[in-house]
Amino acid sequence: MLILGIDPGYARAGWGVVSQIKNKLAPIAFGCLETKSQMPHAERLQKLQTELKKIIIKYQPDALAIEELFFFKNLKTALQVAESRGVILAAAFDCHLPIYEFTPLQVKQAITSYGRADKNQIQQMVKLILGMKNIIQPDDAADAVAIAITCAHSLGKKY
């Protein structure tokens, strides 16, 4: 099974594809989708959707896992991230992917067993879980892979 994890964002959205065969997880690919601040708002959203669909076509994941919006400090940023989540969900729906959503707390608990884990702790555990030599950079890509791992663990309990 291939799971595409998404850390939604407006300027930068992290993505990561993880393979699950029985109880073994392996990294396939990861990165970030970025839009330029000088682009018109609708064009940024359209670029995010287009680039995400390219990733879906290239890797043919079996499911999409995405982080839910949990809280916000800046209303404008929260609205932009919510809009990018909408575009991501629509792209996944267009590609007939089952969608699984996880809160940041669920991801932290699944990856580190500690709901208040910081970014470094999550990155180190993702590296350990996937047997990688280095942590995934940038943070957004590492978060996306953590979301995919959370989904794999969640689905593993159902199968």
Question: Which among 34, 83, 118, 140 is annotated as catalytic?
Answer: 140
**Cβ–Cβ contacts within 10 Å for residue 66, how many?**
23
Question: pLDDT tens digit string along 16-61?
Answer: 999 999 889 999 999 999 999 999 999 999 999 999 999 999 999 9
| Spatial separation of the C-alpha atoms in residues 15 and 143, rounded to whole Å | 8
Assess whether 7 carries a catalytic annotation: yes
3-class SS of residue 18: strand
Kindly list the domain boundaries of the chain, sorted by start residue.
2-156
pLDDT of residue 159: 41
Question: Which among 67, 94, 118, 143 is annotated as catalytic?
Answer: 67
Confidence label for 113 from pLDDT (cuts 50, 70 and 90): very high
Tell me which architecture the domain covering 2-156 has in CATH.
2-Layer Sandwich (3.30)
Question: pLDDT tens digit string along 53-110?
Answer: 999 999 999 999 999 986 667 777 788 889 999 999 999 999 999 999 999 999 999 9
